[in-house]
Amino acid sequence: MNICFLMYPWEEIDPENDTSLALIHECVKRGHGVATCSPANLTIRNSVTNAFCNVIGRMAKVSSNLKTFYKQAQLREEMLPLAGFDVIFMRANPPLDPLMLNFLDSVKDDVFIMNSLQGLREANNKLYTAAFGDSHSNIIPVTHVSKNKNYLVRQIKESPADKMILKPLNGFGGSGVILIEKSAMNNIKSLLDFYVTNSDGTSNYVILQEYIEGADQGDVRILLLNGEPIGAMKRVPGSDDHRSNVSAGGSVAKHSMTKQEKALCKQIGPKLVKDGLYFVGIDVIGGKLVEVNVMSPGGITYMNKVYKTKIQAKVIDFVESKVLDKLEAFNRRSRLRNEVENA
């Protein structure tokens, strides 16, 4: 099997904690051909979608240590047709580059793409969580999305709570997430000016969300594969930051999923699978869904360390099964076509 990881540049990998590297390592260890490329390296040659890829050379012995594997990996650049791969594993960091998906549209019927292009289009920003909330559901926090600053100020004033969370629509890794308080209303308008209005006169949508009690104790990251949870961890904020993201200084701890969290996964899992979002990371606070991460969900290496497991093996098992299903469907179609032609 040949797998292309469409991701951030190789030199930006954190060899000790990178989920993408853990997945790549698992593929190489199993003998699969692996290449990486970044969205900027997509190209079209003779009307065929290609990419300037870094192909990872075959290894006589693959180190079990991620850091050592990263140092030993030998890369060579090749322009390769994307339709020649069995799998394209999407691991590009947010925000989503819509042009990248336009390139991949030409190969989506030939290659298994994880996650699906349509799913990424629908779920790449924080609006996707609103799809799981309705008048009969209480699985997401009360949420407002707008670029109308007067409306946002009014919602803050009318909120029964003293605190709310403000964040950009397309942020990631905890970037731009701030805690606002009614006691500091004098600063709210200037904050909204900064978040909503750009220097060129354009404006951005922002999310205003109810503050969930207990958020100061951290959140829970749950990884779902094919709609089912395969790992969870508690993320605890640092002493000088309200955000629990590890990239923002948070730490991780073991976490046993609660009954409420299991019910949440069961409720949202079918829609994720229906949308082709097979490998997803969700952030949960107090049993409520805060975010759905679909582009490059992380946490595997941290969960592996805490639980002494290898979650990446489950992910690659699933990828192999999807490729096998696709191959068997193709072979079956070929056999039936031959029967008709030879009749």
Quote the tokens at residue 70. Answer: 């990263």
Structural domain range at position 92: 2-114
**Looking at residue 174, which CATH number applies to its domain?**
3.30.1490.20
Indicate whether 107 belongs to any domain. Answer: yes
Pair 260, 235 in one domain: yes
Pair 11, 35 in one domain: yes
Pair 51, 150 in one domain: no
The Cα 244–Cα 217 span in angstroms is 8
CB 277 within 8 A of CB 206: no
Last residue of a domain, one of 210, 239, 262: 210
Pair 81, 169 in one domain: no
CB 192 within 8 A of CB 206: yes
Indicate whether 153 belongs to any domain. Answer: yes
Indicate whether 244 belongs to any domain. Answer: yes
**Looking at residue 238, which CATH number applies to its domain?**
3.30.470.20
Pair 17, 36 in one domain: yes
Pair 250, 229 in one domain: yes
Quote the tokens at residue 342. Answer: 């030879």
According to DSSP, the β-strands at 75-81 and 48-56 are: antiparallel
Indicate whether 241 belongs to any domain. Answer: yes
Provide the CA 225 distance to its chain's centre, in angstroms: 12
- Number of domains composing the chain: 3
> What pLDDT tens digit does each residue of the chain (343 aa) get?
999 999 999 999 999 999 999 999 999 999 999 999 999 999 999 999 999 999 999 999 999 999 999 999 999 999 999 999 999 999 999 889 999 999 999 999 999 999 999 999 999 877 888 777 665 568 898 889 999 999 999 999 999 889 999 988 877 767 788 999 988 888 898 999 999 998 888 999 999 998 998 888 899 999 999 999 999 999 998 665 555 556 545 789 999 999 999 999 999 999 999 999 999 999 999 999 999 999 999 999 999 999 999 999 999 999 999 999 998 988 998 999 999 999 8
Indicate whether 202 belongs to any domain. Answer: yes
**Looking at residue 24, which CATH number applies to its domain?**
3.40.50.20
Cis peptide before 141 (omega within 30 of 0): no
Indicate whether 240 belongs to any domain. Answer: yes
Indicate whether 256 belongs to any domain. Answer: yes
